[in-house]
Amino acid sequence: MSAIVTPDICDAHPEVRVLDPIFVNFGGREAFCGPVRTVKCFEDNSRVKEAVAEPGEGAVLVVDAGGSQRCALFGDMLAEQAANNGWAGVVMYGCVRDVDVLAETELGVQALGSHPRRSEKRGEGSRDIAVTFAGVTLHPGQWLYADNNGIVVAEERLPLDV
């Protein structure tokens, strides 16, 4: 696979949508891409835990955590599980923790920030639905491309020989 460079993708494919530049790269994989799978939850990572326990098959888990900065919904144990199960990355509209371990894990992780407190586990949330944050609505099956420049979303997989 060619290198993922989001400025080059934007130049070659002006139709892609760009998420607002509010995310920080925490993962051991600085650039990643894959088909979108979604979770919508708020301060409860039950559905995130459920998703990363399943085969990722190169997908990116997009989590609409409501932008909460009061706890983390993703940390070292879930990141290790996601990497082992073949997920390409996680985009968290919320916080992560265990950032030193995340940086060493072979997984793309972008989030709003870090927070040391873990989330609740009440079994709440939804999966595989459209989510809207950072100025973009993301649907399961779209393709997400991320690097240190930003995050872009396309309706389908793009040729990366841009």
Binding site per annotation, positions for substrate: 75-78, 97
Which residue type does 37 have? R
Six token digits for residue 155: 């309706």
Which residue type does 152 have? V
Q: Are 104 and 28 in contact (CB under 8 A)?
A: yes
The phi and psi torsions of 12 (rounded to 5 degrees) equal -80, -25
Which residue ranges are tagged as binding site? Answer: 75-78, 97-98
CA 22 to chain centre: 13
Is 31 in a helix, a strand, or coil?
A: coil
Which residue ranges are tagged as binding site for Mg(2+)? Answer: 98
